[in-house]
């Protein structure tokens, strides 16, 4: 796995009223600081949002509805996992939190209609000077598709 990336399995607390999932707490070892929270919704499956990385910002991703395939590529030349790629499937039936550190390219593809992602970021997004480097979805030779088995 890419250095500093974490996939945290979350627990759904279920009772007769429904369920509760604690997504991220200030006391979690993988939490750094709070900047903002935002919600992203993809109307149909197959929507690709890729690739970008940040210089300072940490991301914590949680799929609250539907499911998504995430891909990550380590672009930190000082990292022992430089150039390594990882793929993760997150979804409401597999509650998990994906921790993405600065310097790691990341993107995701919705696997279901009406997939919703909740993202917590360590920094506030600056529209005038965004902390991001973007490259096209077909970068790094990654193929955004569902692979049959």
- For the chain, the domains span 6-124
In angstroms, rounded to a whole number, what is the distance separating the alpha carbons of residues 86 and 119?
A: 19
Strands 18-21 and 48-53: unpaired
What is the per-residue burial (b if ≥16 Cβ within 10 Å, else e) of 105-138? bbbbbbbbeebbbbebbbbeeeeeeebeeeeeee
Q: 125 φ, ψ to 5°?
A: -65, 125
In angstroms, rounded to a whole number, what is the distance separating the alpha carbons of residues 98 and 117?
A: 11
**Predicted TM-score of the model (pTM):** 0.95
- Supply the pLDDT for residue 54: 98
**Mean pLDDT, rounded, of the chain:** 97
Decide if pLDDT at 148 tops 90. no
In which band, very low, low, confident or very high, does the pLDDT at 21 lie, cut at 50, 70 and 90? very high
SS3 state at 148:
coil
| Structure confidence by residue, pLDDT tens digits, 52-86 | 999 999 999 999 999 999 999 999 999 999 999 99
Decide if pLDDT at 41 tops 90. yes
| Structure confidence by residue, pLDDT tens digits, 81-136 | 999 999 999 999 999 999 999 999 999 999 999 999 999 999 999 999 999 999 99
In which band, very low, low, confident or very high, does the pLDDT at 2 lie, cut at 50, 70 and 90? very high
CATH pick for 6-124 out of 2.60.120.10, 1.20.1070.10, 3.30.930.10, 1.10.1740.10: 2.60.120.10
Place of tokens 């790629």: 85
In angstroms, rounded to a whole number, what is the distance separating the alpha carbons of residues 49 and 107?
A: 5
Decide if pLDDT at 141 tops 90. yes
Which residues, 6 or more positions from 128, have their beta carbon under 8 angstroms from its beta carbon?
Answer: none
Decide if pLDDT at 10 tops 90. yes
């Amino acid at each position: 796995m890419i250095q500093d990336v974490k996939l945290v399995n979350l627990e759904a607390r279920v009772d007769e009223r429904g369920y509760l999932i604690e997504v991220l707490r200030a006391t979690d070892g993988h939490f750094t600081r709070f900047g903002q929270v935002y919600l992203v919704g993809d109307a149909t499956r197959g929507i690709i949002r890729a690739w970008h990385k940040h210089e300072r910002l940490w991301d914590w991703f949680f799929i609250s509805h539907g499911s998504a395939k995430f891909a990550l590529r380590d672009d930190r030349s000082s990292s022992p996992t430089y150039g390594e790629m990882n793929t993760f499937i997150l979804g409401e039936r597999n509650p998990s939190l994906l921790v993405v550190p600065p310097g790691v390219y990341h993107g995701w593809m919705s696997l279901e209609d009406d997939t919703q992602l909740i993202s917590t970021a360590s920094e506030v997004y600056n529209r005038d000077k965004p902390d991001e480097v973007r490259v096209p979805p077909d970068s790094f030779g990654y193929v955004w598709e569902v692979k049959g088995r």
